[in-house]
Structure 1
Amino acid sequence: MLRRRRIEVPDVLLKPGRPRWREHLGPAVVILVGVLVVVLVGVAAMVSRSSGHADAGPVVGAVNDPTAEQVPIPLPSPSISTSPAPINAITIEQGAVPDTVDLSNEGTIDWVHWGEDGIYSLERDAKGGFAILEGTPSAPRQRHTLSPQRFTWTGGTPAAGNEGTTSGVRTCGAGNGFTLTAPATTEPSKLRLYLGVSGGQGLLKLKLTTGGLITGGETVTSRLVGAGSSLTTARYSISYRATRPGKISIEWITEKTSGSGCGGVALEAASLS
């Protein structure tokens, strides 16, 4: 007869007791230590970064007083403002003539000076390709040396250069004057005219044409008055641009005279760039 063997279970497993927290304490401590390590590493990184900024100087964008080396040197403003060249229109600006005008430096496309060697003499850029042209001369026409400013040039023809001349040509009587033309292209152009008047009033008229059609709207005009026998001068800076090749036409006419002398307009120089 077989005898059954009794299996004994320890009392600790049979008794319902309080949670055995000691068994979970070890893993909890390990997790807590890991979290603390991560936090301490982040704090150390922030402290290091803050310390680095403290030595890096001012933040970008901060306003500081400039040193002597940083203070910009002011540049002189031109006597004539440079307005953008309009399309199929003309912008004209009148200003004083500088004491000395270097035509070869100013006229990158072409330049012209009148009257150095005689009534009909014309000194021009040897490489300008005759871009600036004068119309048929009309009487009366005289040479003068009345300009209060001087004109210089190099690379010219027939006079290769000049260190400073006050010459030009002039006319007398209402209705008399000069006509000029210069090319108009799709690129912006700047034409500078050096004009004068004595004992009267001069009228400047400008118009832009392409293909024989007036494309600049109404003729642009400007007036210059010169009293007495001295020569009153001005520089006209003319900006223009066309939608297709054409030309700009200039008339510089004695509108009226004053006094009994030879009142009229004078023509000295022109440059195109």
Structure 2
Amino acid sequence: PLRPGVDADAASPGLRPRQRPPSPSASPSPSRPAVVPVLTVTQADVPARVDLTAAGPVDWVHWGLLGADQAVRKRNGSGAIRDEGGRGRRESYSNNPEAYAWRDGAPVGSAGGTTSGLYTCGRGNGFTLAVTADGEPRTVRLYAGLWMARGRLDLRLSTGGPTSTLRMEDPHTQHTAEFTIRFQAPRGAKLLVNWTVEESFGDCGNVGVQAVALR
């Protein structure tokens, strides 16, 4: 029996639950900062000779050398550049004003300077390409042209965010350009590229593509 005035906890210290010091709260694992979408494009003249091996250390694709149905790609490239098709019948040609060379291609291992490419005629027809993002800044160089047409280049990211549109026109003859696209998007997202005939000024006003390079 307890004596009056004696605290029960003091009388039986062994029965008192042992106080544990508070455990430190687990610090949250550092999370990657969200990738802010970036998309810009500039236009310049195409060099007389384009070295795709140098321009595309990550990946590159060239069209036209093997006809309309097969492209040459960077051997052991990342595969980030994808040909997504587009409207219109594709035709190959071999009188492009600039030449393209490479030393690391497949199924054609090297080329000293081919002037081949692809084109498609008619308003609303064109090419659709995609480039996979990896979360880091990437630079895409699109080598494209037109004949007696106004071409429209539409760029967007699959995750939304900034978009861009450029137009190029030559109602009388041929014109080519190097479009330099800089973009950044979360890993797995895509840069979507559409190059189409906005207006045809002849029987076969067309847009064409020669190559795409990624670094």
TM-score bucket (shorter structure): 0.7 to 0.9
Pick aligned residue for 1:235 from 160, 178, 195: 178
Partners of 1:242 and 1:146 lie apart in 2 by 36
Shift of 1:144: 1.2
Aligned 1:1-273 pairs, distance under 5 A: 87-136=36-85, 138-209=87-158, 213-214=159-160, 216-217=161-162, 219-228=163-172, 230-259=173-202, 261-273=203-215
Q: Aligned pair in 2 of structure 1 residues 242, 133: CA closer, same or farther (>3 Å)?
A: same
Larger RCO (CA under 8 A, 6+ residues apart)? 2
Q: More strand by proportion, 1 or 2? A: 2
Q: Indicate the SS of the match to 2:79.
A: coil
Q: Indicate the SS of the match to 1:231.
A: strand
**How many residues are aligned here?**
181
TM-score normalized with structure 1 length: 0.64
Aligned position for 2:21: none
- Kept after mapping to 2: 8 A contact 1:180/1:249: yes
- Kept after mapping to 1: 8 A contact 2:127/2:196: yes
Shift of 1:208: 1.0
- Kept after mapping to 2: 8 A contact 1:152/1:165: yes
Q: Indicate the SS of the match to 1:160.
A: coil
Unaligned stretches of 5+ in structure 1?
1-85
Partners of 1:122 and 1:178 lie apart in 2 by 14
Partners of 2:110 and 2:170 lie apart in 1 by 30
Q: More helix by proportion, 1 or 2? A: 1
Q: Matched residues, percent identical?
A: 37
Runs of 4+ aligned residues of structure 1 deviating over 2 Å after TM superposition are 136-139
RMSD: 1.5
